[in-house]
Amino acid sequence: MGITTILIVVTVFSSLSIIVLALMQTSKGDMGSAFGGGGSQSMFGSRGSANFLSRMTSIMVAVFFISCLTLAYIYAQRNESASVVDQSVLETQPTTSSEVPILEDEEAGLSSDMPELDSELPVIDSEVPAIDADEAVDQAEDAVEAAADAVQDDLSTN
């Protein structure tokens, strides 16, 4: 098992333990006292947050933070060694052997007396009529009004 696998397991374990420990802690006061009101009464009571659950939560947060930073450093070092320039040089190098044989026309049995297609396309002399934009808008408005009238008539008959 590599160091990366161990760090991933530690990160998952610490994150799950943070969730469980945070959910196990109970509040001793209202939430408003944690934001300045209430003097010494804090969210976890007047004892402060010095009990076992809160200390374990703090330790697990530190373990989670350190493991995440270590994983980020490992992956950054791994990606740094494979630079873009090295990858592009490897991709552009020609391969020395080809598995697919290249056949010439005569070897493949292709005859050169095959009919060729006409490269010229027929030209259509008809012109497309131009439509005035204002006229098109007027026609669309008339169609919408006619549809609205038809719907109104249909609703009034029901």
Q: Residue 75, Cβ neighbours under 10 Å: how many?
A: 11
pLDDT in tens, 4-59: 999 999 999 999 999 999 998 877 665 655 565 555 445 555 555 558 888 999 99
> What is residue 146's predicted lDDT score, i.e. its pLDDT?
92
Banded pLDDT at 84 (limits 50, 70, 90):
low
Is the pTM higher than 0.95? The answer reads no
- Asked whether 38 and 6 are in contact (CB, 8 A), the reply is no
From residue 45, give the alpha-carbon distance in Å to each of 22, 49, 110: 16, 8, 92
DSSP string, 78-127: HHHHS-HHHHHHHHHSPPS--SSPP--HHHHT--S-PPPPP-PPPPP-PP
pLDDT in tens, 95-105: 556 566 666 65
